Amino acid sequence: MPTARSWRAYPQTYRLEAARCSKCGKAFFPPRLVCNKCNGRQFEHFDMKRTGKVVTHTIIRTPSDEFSGQAPFALGIIQMDDGPRLTSQIVDVPLEDVRIGMPVKLEFRRVSSEGEAGAIQYGHKAVPARD
């Protein structure tokens, strides 16, 4: 399980807390202070639904050190059903089967570990959604 420290530090990460602009309705993840569409500064926070679709994806074969044990892996831009787009690893599916438009859902998984004695980082990964 994630450490207490990381749970407190990143509530929007594990709850998928997003913000919807009160003026124009655009949704952001992670939340932001100023809307980039209408410059509005009032937001309603909400927990995003975990479902979305793959917009585009690529295969990472030579990742940065923190992900070195995991290559190759698929990295995708996910269009969430609630509006925001985010970048996520796509797992639990063969690399050659990842498709644009594929329905996915986000699950909370271990993302990386910082060295042998370091903290394990948790975050969301996209997995194929079963209809």
In the complex, the residues that contact Zn ion under the rule CB under 5 A are: 21, 23-24, 26, 35, 37-38, 40
Sequence-separated (6 or more) residues with CB below 8 Å from residue 104: 51, 52, 53, 54, 76, 78, 90, 126, 127, 128, 129
Q: How far is the CB of 107 from Zn ion (least distance, A)?
A: 30
Question: Which residue, 15 or 23, is less far from Zn ion as judged by CB?
Answer: 23
Burial 99-114 (b: 16+ CB within 10 A, else e): eeebebbbebeebbee
Question: Which CB atom, from 38 or from 100, has the smaller least distance to Zn ion?
Answer: 38
Q: Name the minimum Å distance from CB 43 to Zn ion.
A: 9
Rounded CA-CA distance 97/78 in Å is 16
CB of 38 vs Zn ion, minimal distance in Å: 3
**What is the rounded distance in angstroms from the CA atom of residue 61 to the CA atom of residue 71?**
5
By beta-carbon proximity to Zn ion, the closer residue of 35 and 102 is 35
Q: Tell me whether residue 2 or residue 84 sits nearer to Zn ion (CB atom).
A: 84
